[in-house]
Amino acid sequence: MLEVKQIVKTFFKGTVNEKVALHGVDLRLESGDFATVIGGNGAGKSTLLNSIAGVFPVDSGSIHINDTDITKMPEYKRAAFIGRVFQDPMLGTAGNMQIEENLLLALRRGKRMGLKWAFVPKERELFRERLSLLGLGLEDRLTARMGLLSGGQRQSITLLMATMLRPELLLLDEHTAALDPKTAENVLNLTDKLVQEHNLTTLMITHNMRDALRFGNRLIMMNNGRIIFDVRGEEKKKLTVQDLLERFEVAGDTVSDRMVLGTK
């Protein structure tokens, strides 16, 4: 469960460039909620995810995961609760390390690694099993350098890593936006499979309205640092792109072609 209460975030406070990116945002995700997040440029979507992940402190308000108050917890400690996948496929994995070394880091997250990279055979077996889920043949390339893989392959492995130890919360920030349409589709389907399989509480920012409608049991729309629409269950299932366009229009937001058509 995630509970965000009244969070405010201001950038460049007290300067001519002062920007209030979040105006007292409230959000509660129940365990297993999969919420897609949409909104125009500068709506505050990434700022909301970054505030939850602890990339920077918030000005006020509180953030709880289950019963733990993480508002003042440093980012590296929050990583024990949170799995993240970013837009840039290069960010989630270490390019100069092997596939299995990256996976081992994820498996031993929060534990002392010591000086040795001693693999237990059971771990390699687990990695092979997880990688075969991707259907990319990577289970036979455990010692390949991550840097040799394509963006889609790296993003798929980042997803596996983010969910290797079941996180309390999964944060996805436009994680398929840098991929070609076919690869993006595969990574989205993998995302959905992992979320369902592990019943993960998930927040997924997407610029694509169709994907926001297709995935998850909840949809959240942001505008100008506020959540202006939060819909779930049957009501979400009935929503159409046209409904979303109307909401954007009422909010006075501009909608780009890529949001409607899903192109980059």
Ligand X SMILES: Nc1ncnc2c1ncn2[C@@H]1O[C@H](COP(=O)(O)OP(=O)(O)OP(=O)(O)O)[C@@H](O)[C@H]1O
Least distance in angstroms from the C-beta of 186 to ligand X: 23
Among 24, 32, 42, 151, binds ligand X (CB under 6 A): 42
Which among 35-43, 75-83, 92-100, 163-171 is the span making contact with ligand X, rule CB under 6 A?
A: 35-43
Q: Does 19 bind ligand X (CB under 6 A)?
A: yes
Q: Does 41 bind ligand X (CB under 6 A)?
A: yes
Q: Which is nearer to ligand X, 21 or 195 (CB)?
A: 21
Q: Which is nearer to ligand X, 106 or 188 (CB)?
A: 188
Among 7, 27, 38, 47, binds ligand X (CB under 6 A): 47
Q: Does 84 bind ligand X (CB under 6 A)?
A: no
Which among 37-45, 119-127, 131-139, 212-220 is the span making contact with ligand X, rule CB under 6 A?
A: 37-45
Q: Which is nearer to ligand X, 41 or 189 (CB)?
A: 41
Q: Does 208 bind ligand X (CB under 6 A)?
A: no
Q: Does 11 bind ligand X (CB under 6 A)?
A: yes
The secondary structure of the chain, three-state, reads: CEEEEEEEEEECCCCCCCEEEEEEEEEEECCCCEEEEEECCCCCHHHHHHHHHCCCCCCEEEEEECCEECCCCCHHHHCCCEEEECCCCCCCCCCCCEHHHHHHHHHCCCCCCCCCCCCCHHHHHHHHHHHHCCCCCHHHCCCCEHHHCCHHHHHHHHHHHHHHCCCCEEEEECCCCCCCHHHHHHHHHHHHHHHHHHCCCEEEECCCHHHHHHCCCEEEEEECCEEEEEEEHHHHHHCCHHHHHHHHHHHCCCCCHHHHHCCC
Q: Does 39 bind ligand X (CB under 6 A)?
A: yes
Among 7, 34, 46, 54, binds ligand X (CB under 6 A): 46
**Contact residues for ligand X (CB under 6 A)?**
11, 19, 21, 39, 41-47
